[in-house]
Amino acid sequence: MQSIMKYIYPFLLSLLPLISWAQSEDSVVIRKDITIEKAYTPTIRDAGKISQMPSVSEPVIHQEPIRYSDYSVAMDPEYQVRTLEAARLRNPQYYDDKNGYLRLGFGNCWSTLGDLVLPIVDKPKYSFGFDAHHKGMLSKRRHHKSDVGLAFDRHFTNGDFFLKGSYGYRGFNYYGDNKLSSDLLYSIQSDAFLGKDFFKSEAGIHTFGASIGYKTFTSTDLLNRISASLDYDGFLPNAGLTEHRVNTSLLYDRLLDENHWGIGFNMKNFAYDDGQVESQTVHQDGFTVVTLNPYFQFEQERWNLRIGVNGRFSTEGKSFAPSADIKGIFALVPRLFFVYGEIGGDYKTNSLAEIVETNHYANLNTKIDNTYTPFDLRAGLKFKLLYNLLTDLSVRYRKIEDQYFFVNEIVEQSGQSGYANVFTPVYSDASVFTPSFRVTYNFNQMLDFLLLAQYNSWDVDERGMEAYNMPSFEFNLGTTLHLGKRMAANLNTYIATGREARKLDGGEKNLKNIYDLNLGFFYTHSSKVSMFIKLNNILHQHYEQYLGYEVNGFNGLIGISYSF
């Protein structure tokens, strides 16, 4: 590892003058509503679950993934059933993707929002852009993120060269208490004490990023297509492990008549520094994971099939972690009725940066072990009962080794023991069976509708353990209504039930069900000015995101957007 990093770090340091603020991806708890891809083309996502932080339409610049044809991408079962929008940045009639963009918002709970997208140079052969983002709350449950980025693209005849740099900062407080959970923090002598007595109440995390790469266009005139990139991600908390991640990706694809064959290569290098860890008894070694993915892809008029394999080699955890890479879709009735299936797997390197996006109250002194999924099986069917009404029924089964679940860390002092306000992982082999139902509908660009319901049936091998914090049932409903050319309104509701947490005595505690209801209103005054109102958690629910961490009740934002 050290020998590899010795050569990579000087290259990364050469990119530091280009580094500015970065946009970190939101967690599974806080999802983006909108991304702005290359050339600032808006792509809408469903609003997803809302947590204690405000969520509104949020522009982000990122490199679009390589795609060789619409049909080859369509064989991914998730692609044809794209989630429809539950929020819009503005009506598309008034959106000019070559303009800069500024948005400001303010709300209760001392919530603030700010976005700036600035295409500094936009020429036929090259472009250079800047973006900055801020979102957060400064109430008792404090959490804020601020980041900026720079991106350069050089356009050639057959492809793009890109160079990006970024910096970001996330701050939050550990406010875990026993307001709703009387058994959260206590001692064996029944004398209550708070976990925050043993851990800092405030946390701050710096992130750095740099990317360089090249990718060919998706033109069918190109027989040989390549995508190559080198990415660096730095994770530097004020207290805890410092993580450096370097990701090298190469993809070669060759057109063969109407089919494709190719091979992908990926190498992830991780390095750690425990200089910020309060207890020096913890030491985390770096590791490397290499993945090879040869494949062949058949594309026909009514069906397509991808046959490949993923071979992964790691210096930590599972030394060899293979899995199949087989996906297929068949049109029983063209444009009306499809069946699809997938046999896959994964070897997930659980980086600290990704863990914080899931649970930023995780103990940053501990790196979570890699997770191996040897089997990930999915099958389903999609059909249109009515024009623009698409229904998807599917089942999925995953077999997982070293699945982690978050539990409150137990602390001891002066003969007392109790729950701290940070979380550590417990591990077990597990399996999960997930039937799901999805409906999407669009009516004449006036009404968008999404309904998603799924049931997660977990089977945890370790005796006495449960799938802590994992919901059994999830329901997501989102709809957007366009009221003429200037106004739009959206509604999103998210329900999750069946979540459990581990108690101090080893038993389980049922967490309060999640019922989130959110509304948004958008008004376009002109081609340059638009206004929005976003109302979150309208039912004023005080469920716990994690044990001891109650979310904010009703909160809202009002703001204005300006295109220049």
Give the chain's mean pLDDT. Answer: 78
- CA-based nearest residue to 184, from 497, 426, 422: 422
CA distances from 340 to 310, 380, 393, 453, 552 (A): 20, 6, 10, 19, 41
Q: At residue 183, does pLDDT exceed 80?
A: no
Q: What confidence score (pLDDT) does residue 154 get?
A: 93
Most confidently modeled of 155-159, 243-247, 525-529? 243-247
**Full residue range of the structural domain in which residue 42 is found:** 2-563
Q: What is the pLDDT of residue 40?
A: 27
Does 72 score more than 70 pLDDT? Answer: no
Instruction: Indicate if the pLDDT at residue 411 is higher than 80.
Output: no
Angstrom distance (rounded) from CA 70 to CA 49 = 29
| pLDDT, mean of residues 543-564 | 88
Q: d(Cα 293, Cα 347) in Å, to the nearest integer?
A: 13
- Using alpha carbons, select from 418, 428, 505 the residue that is nearest to residue 466: 428
Return the higher-pLDDT residue of 28 and 220. 220
Q: 450-459: which pairs have CB atoms within 8 A and are 24 or more residues apart?
A: 450/46, 450/83, 450/84, 450/86, 450/476, 450/477, 450/478, 450/479, 451/476, 451/477, 452/46, 452/83, 452/476, 452/477, 456/432, 457/432, 457/433, 458/430, 458/431, 458/432, 459/430, 459/431, 459/432, 459/433
Q: What is the pLDDT of residue 409?
A: 74
Give the number of other CB atoms < 10 A from CB of residue 254: 14
Exposed / middle / buried, residue 319 (Cβ in 10 Å: 0-12, 13-18, 19+): exposed
pLDDT at residue 16, as a whole number: 34
Note the pLDDT of residue 268: 97
Highest mean pLDDT among 97-101, 353-357, 421-425, 457-461: 457-461
Distance from the first to the final alpha carbon of the chain: 47
- Looking at the structure of the chain, the number of domains it has is 1
Query: Which among 76-85, 189-198, 306-315 has the top mean pLDDT?
Result: 306-315
Q: Which residue has the tokens 């797997």?
A: 345
Q: Which of 50, 65, 58 is nearest to 25 (CA)?
A: 58
Decide: helix, strand or coil at residue 47: coil
pLDDT band at 443 (very low <50, low <70, confident <90, very high): confident
Q: What is the pLDDT of residue 186?
A: 39
CA distances from 200 to 65, 162, 174, 371 (A): 40, 40, 8, 29
Cα(276)–Cα(285) distance, integer angstroms? 15
Whether the per-residue pLDDT at 129 is higher than 60: the answer is: yes
CATH of the domain at 252: 2.40.170.20
pLDDT at position 218 over 60: yes
Cα(106)–Cα(412) distance, integer angstroms: 42
Around Cβ 14, how many Cβ atoms within 10 Å?
11
Weakest mean pLDDT among 66-70, 313-317, 465-469, 479-483: 66-70
pLDDT > 70? residue 191: no
**Whether pLDDT at 216 is above 50:** yes
Q: Residue 505, class by beta-carbon neighbours within 10 Å (0-12 exposed, 13-18 middle, 19+ buried)?
A: exposed
Residue 284 confidence (pLDDT): 76
Report how far residue 142's alpha carbon sits from residue 160's, in angstroms, rounded to the nearest whole number.
41
Confidence of residue 550 (pLDDT cuts 50, 70, 90): confident
Q: What pLDDT was estimated at residue 251? A: 94
Average pLDDT over residues 502-530: 87
* Among candidate residues 297, 298, 294, 343, the one with its CA nearest the CA of residue 323: 343
Does the structure show a pLDDT above 80 at 292? yes
Phi-psi region for residue 23, left (φ > 0), alpha (ψ -120 to 50) or beta?
A: beta
Percent of the chain with pLDDT over 90: 49
Which has the minimum average pLDDT: 157-166, 176-185, 340-349, 406-415? Answer: 176-185
Mean pLDDT, residues 410-438 taken together: 82
Question: How many CB atoms are located within 10 Å of the residue 525 CB?
Answer: 12
Q: Which residues contact 524 (CB under 8 A, 6 or more apart)?
A: 90, 91, 94, 485, 486, 487, 530
- Per the CB < 8 A criterion, the answer to whether 218 and 226 are in contact is no
Contact yes or no for 249/226 (Cβ under 8 A): no
